[in-house]
A and B are shown apart, each in its own frame.
Chain A
Amino acid sequence: MFYVSVFFQYMAQYMKTKLQYRADLFVEFLSDLMFQSVNLIFILVVFGHTTLLHGWARDEMIFIYGFFLVPFALFGAFFNIWDFNERYIVRGEMDRVLTRPVHSLFQIILERMELESLVGGVTGMIIMGYASARLHLEFHWYDFFLFLLFALGGMLVYAGVFISLATISFWSDARSSIMPMMYNISNYGRYPIDIYNRVIRYILTWILPFAFVGVYPSAYFLGKKEWYGYAFLTPVIGLVFFMIAVMLWNKGVKRYRGAGN
């Protein structure tokens, strides 16, 4: 309960800061929108050439992409930890975080909040709307809640993997380029999983479970019964990976060496 109220306090603060820079806010919004439309055009061009891929129709793939954008936007909004090493370890901001009576990871998440990333989620929903209209998909009332659950699950998968990567900084002070690499790998999760070979499929399911951010949960809404089991695993995988990440974090914080003065 205390954490919820702290969350809202930070959020209010964040809004105030953003509103102070009106021009910035406008530009950011515009560039986000442009980025999203470029993405959309890209998808239409790529999928324009293929109508069927391993039994997946063009519109189904577009739907997956649309779904993927939602957990990804949530992740971008609340787990903006790309520059954790630089900002908190090298520059020693972690010192300050550790002198406050709130869990350190939670504080960093709050400080690095980027709510404008949520625009991507809206784009995702528009894309899904477009695709489901063309596919004549039918939805039930509970699908909305499942959608929320899956989107949150996907967000946690992402968060789990990237937080785990961020904790590497506690053990080694060398800067690594593993984050951008992982970002590229994460993109594989938004294409139908059965187009890959077995090894990659296994990795994307159990080791770096990015398939749970795009293709598996989407399969449920697309009515692909053979994938239902995986679809319902989404929140479980999300929670497991997130919990592992938090455990690694708690271990890592003990090894924090601080930056010299």
Chain B
Amino acid sequence: MYAIEVEKLRKEFKVYSSRSGLVGAFRDLFTRNYKMIRAVDDISFTVKQGEMVGYIGENGAGKSTTIKMLTGILTPTAGKVVVNGMNPHKEREAFVQTIGVVFGQRSQLWWDIAVQESFRLLKKVYRVSDKEYKEHMEHVIETLDIGPLLDKPVRKLSLGQRMRCELAAALIHNPPLLFLDEPTIGLDVLVKLKIRQFLKEINEKYNTTILLTTHDIADIEALCERVIMLDEGKIIYDGSLQRLKENWGEGKQVQFTFATEVTEEELCALTYDIKATWRKEETNSWVAHVAPMHVSDVISRIVARYDIQDINIDEMSTEEIIRNIYEEGVVHG
């Protein structure tokens, strides 16, 4: 059985575009220009129990909308969603008992009351028995290191502290499926590492399925074997992170800092036969993207021709791979 099963899922929003100017505003009073926007456009995918999937895309690509449909917050316009064997928006109350949700930009906890009071309320709301709570949460609290924070009101916590508490709160009922919408947004590196570590651990311990959206590709690299990439409401890539890297990340980048100004034409002409592509970083700094076997070739040619202040050789980062995919539109291979 799949944890998540989505088929031809679609969500349309009706938005109205206002006309410009005062006359336009008056016309808007009487007739409005409505436009249908497809935030999510016939997407299909499945997620197995225990998988950790990264769901990525630019702002407005439809990530949050998908997550909100999967969690039963939004009703889909068309298509089939089965999550944990249930239809999220139809059987909402029974369904949400089986999922945990963390929205990085929105607190799940009550602002004014101490963290442990929030936990107590949630424990009641999710009908968790004292015994289950003790067994499970003691471990969670310890791993996330939030014991000392429990008696503080949420509004007094730092973002990193709050995020760890949010995560613990989402796990009170030990759900088999966890949705994380940008859980590491705005956090410092140490907290990020701790959260990643923790997510890995619960995934191993309880076989918890995790679907995660993030702008920090390092989250995905640390956690997910599989990524689903979204652009303008459509899935443009669904597969392993490894394959994505192999298809797109072959080659190295060599960064040169020139002493004098150079033009792209000059550089391209010089490296025409080894198919290097050039990108300008700063005034005198250029990056060449070449196949690994041509690295030394590029360096020797450039060094022979120009005055060089600095050279760096890098692997393509996942972030760059993803940027390239978005810039070029389609995934090849």
- When distances are taken between beta carbons in the complex, the residues of chain A under 8 Å from B75 are 254-256
A95 touches B103 (CB 8 A): yes
CB < 8 Å neighbour of B106 from A5, A6, A96, A257: A96
Q: Residue-by-residue, is B8-43 near A (CB-CB < 8 Å gives 1, otherwise 0)?
A: 000001000000000000000000000000000000
In the bound complex, residues from chain B placing their C-beta under 8 Å from that of A103 are 93
Contact across chains for A95 and B73 when beta carbons are under 8 A apart: yes
Q: Which bucket holds chain B's interface residue count?
A: 35 or more
A258 to B73: give the CA distance in the assembly, Å: 8
Least CB distance from A209 to B in Å reads 31
Asked whether, in the complex, the Cβ of A100 is within 8 Å of the Cβ of B73, the reply is no
Inter-subunit contact B97/A95 (CB<8 Å): no
Query: Which of B112-120, B142-150, B255-263, B298-306 forms contacts with chain A?
Result: B112-120
Interface residue B101 (Cβ < 8 Å from any Cβ of A): yes
Q: Is the CB of B125 within 8 A of A257?
A: no
User: Counting CB contacts under 8 A, is B74 at the interface?
Assistant: yes
CB neighbours of A2 from chain B (8 A): 127
Which residues of B, 97-150, contact A by the 8 Å Cβ criterion? 97, 99, 101, 103, 105-108, 110, 112-113, 117, 120-122, 124-127
Q: Would you call A10 an interface residue if the criterion is a C-beta within 8 Å of the partner chain's C-beta atoms? A: yes
Which single member of B89, B97, B112 contacts A101 (CB below 8 Å)?
B97
Q: If A6-B125, A10-B121, A17-B113 touch, does A98 touch B72 (CB 8 Å cutoff)?
A: yes
CB of A13 within 8 A of CB of B113, answer: yes
Distance from A103 Cβ to chain B, minimum over Cβ atoms (Å):
7
> Is B106 a contact of A95 with CB atoms below 8 Å?
yes
Q: Is B71 an interface residue (CB 8 A)?
A: yes
Contact B108 A257 (CB under 8 A): no
B74 x A9 contact (CB < 8 A): no
| A261 on interface, CB distance cutoff 8 Å | yes
Contacts of A102 in B (CB 8 A): 93, 125
- Over the window 86-118 of chain A, the binary record of Cβ atoms lying under 8 Å from chain B Cβ atoms (1 yes, 0 no) is 000000111110111111000000010000000
In Å, the complex CA distance between A101 and B173 comes to: 11
What is the distance, in angstroms, from B252's C-beta to the closest C-beta of chain A? 36
Alpha-carbon distance between A175 and B294 when the two chains are bound, in angstroms: 62
Contacting residues, chain B, for A16 (C-beta < 8 A) = 113, 117
Residue numbers in B under 8 Å from A17 (CB-CB) = 112-113
Question: Which of A5, A9, A99, A261 makes the CB contact (< 8 A) with B101?
Answer: A99
Cβ < 8 Å to B, chain A residues 191-215: none
A254/B89 in contact, CB under 8 A: yes
Q: Give the distance in Å from the alpha carbon of A210 to the alpha carbon of B96 in the complex.
A: 38
- Name the residue on B nearest A95 (C-beta): B73
Closest to B94 in A: A101
Do the beta carbons of A98 and B110 come within 8 Å of each other?
no
Q: Are A256 and B113 neighbours in the complex by a CB distance under 8 Å?
A: no
* Known contacts A2-B127, A6-B125; A99 and B96 CB within 8 A of each other: yes
Mark A133-163 against chain B: 1 for CB-CB distance below 8 A, else 0.
0000000000000000000000000000000
Do B74 and A256 touch across chains, with their CB atoms under 8 A apart? yes
CB distance from B105 to the nearest CB of A (A): 6
Q: Which residues of B contact A100 (CB under 8 A)?
A: 96, 122, 125-126
Task: Return chain A residues, CB-CB under 8 Å to B96.
Answer: 98-101
Which of A2, A5, A101, A103 has the most B CB atoms < 10 Å from its CB?
A101
Bound form: Cα–Cα A257–B97 in Å:
22
- Closest Cβ of chain A: how far from B95's Cβ, in Å? 8
CB contacts (< 8 Å) of B323 on chain A: these are none
Contact among A5, A20, A111, A261 with B64 in the assembled complex (CB-CB below 8 Å): A261
- Answer whether A99 and B13 are a contact pair too, CB < 8 Å, given A13-B117, A13-B121, A258-B74: no
Q: Nearest chain B CB to A22's CB is how many angstroms away? A: 14
With a cutoff of 8 Å between Cβ atoms, the chain A residues found around residue B181 in the complex are 261
The reply on B68 being an interface residue by CB < 8 A is: yes
Q: Is the CB of B112 within 8 A of A96?
A: no
Q: A9 near B92 (CB under 8 angstroms)?
A: no
Q: Are B73 and A256 in contact (CB under 8 A)?
A: yes
**Cα separation A94 to B74 with both chains bound (whole Å):** 11
Q: Which of B73, B75, B89, B105 has the most CB of A within 10 A?
A: B73
Q: Which residues of B contact A (CB under 8 A)?
A: 13, 64-65, 68, 71-75, 89, 92-94, 96-97, 99, 101, 103, 105-108, 110, 112-113, 117, 120-122, 124-127, 153, 181-182
Q: What are 25 A-B interface contacts by the 8 Å CB criterion?
A: A5-B124, A10-B121, A13-B110, A13-B117, A16-B117, A17-B112, A94-B73, A95-B68, A95-B73, A96-B103, A98-B72, A98-B73, A99-B71, A99-B99, A99-B101, A100-B122, A100-B126, A101-B125, A254-B75, A256-B73, A257-B74, A258-B64, A258-B73, A261-B181, A261-B182
The 9 closest A-B pairs by CB, nearest first: A99-B101, A101-B97, A9-B124, A98-B73, A101-B93, A101-B96, A254-B75, A17-B112, A261-B64
